[in-house]
Amino acid sequence: MHLTDLLSPDSIIAELRGGDKTSVLQELASVLVDRSPGLDLEDLVNILLEREQLGSTGIGDGIAIPHGKVAHLDRLLVSFGRTSRGVPFEAMDDRPVHLFFLLVAPENSAGMHLKALAKISRLLQDSALKKSLREAPDRETIFDLISRWDRNP
């Protein structure tokens, strides 16, 4: 599985506008809803917020991987967002989050869902790549960085 099979430049937000958890999740979810007719933004955000109540998906070091499962979805969906100022996200290290990968999966896709989470986690362990993602000028460059890593992890 390649992340670039799930992610496109259109699902990347180079500078998130939101300043809190809910608004960031709405922004990240909205690009997926735009690409997936039948997905409801309010329902999706509620699913993501319910998942966050179980424990923050802010894993530390300025990174969050919010995720959730949706009924009647036929494939995995991924969006990416970045904010230069950082957003409080109740991360494990209590630091603001700058890089977000949102993963939405069909309800019955545990294996694919876990593989995608693992792939995203490996990508975000690369400190040079994280630095490049934070400094990239636009979404096309962000996509290119992810694509190059995806081909040669």
Q: Give residue 112's pLDDT band: very low, low, confident or very high (50, 70, 90).
A: confident
pLDDT in tens, 135-150: 999 999 999 999 999 8
Say which CATH number the domain at 90 has: 3.40.930.10
Other CB atoms within 10 A of residue 109 CB: 16
Please tell me which residue in 2, 67, 98, 113 is annotated as part of the active site. 67
Question: What is the value of pTM for the model shown?
Answer: 0.94
- Structural domain count, the chain: 1
For 54-74, b where at least 16 C-beta lie within 10 A, e where not — what string? eebbbbebbbbbbbbbbeebe
Angle between helices 127-135 and 139-151 (to 10 degrees): 160
- What per-residue confidence (pLDDT) applies to 64? 96
pLDDT in tens, 59-78: 999 999 999 999 888 889 99
For residue 143, the enclosing domain spans: 3-151
Q: What is the CA radius of gyration of the chain?
A: 14
Least Cα distance to 126 among 110, 149, 103, 95 occurs for 149
Q: Give residue 153's pLDDT band: very low, low, confident or very high (50, 70, 90).
A: low
Is 67 assigned a catalytic role? yes
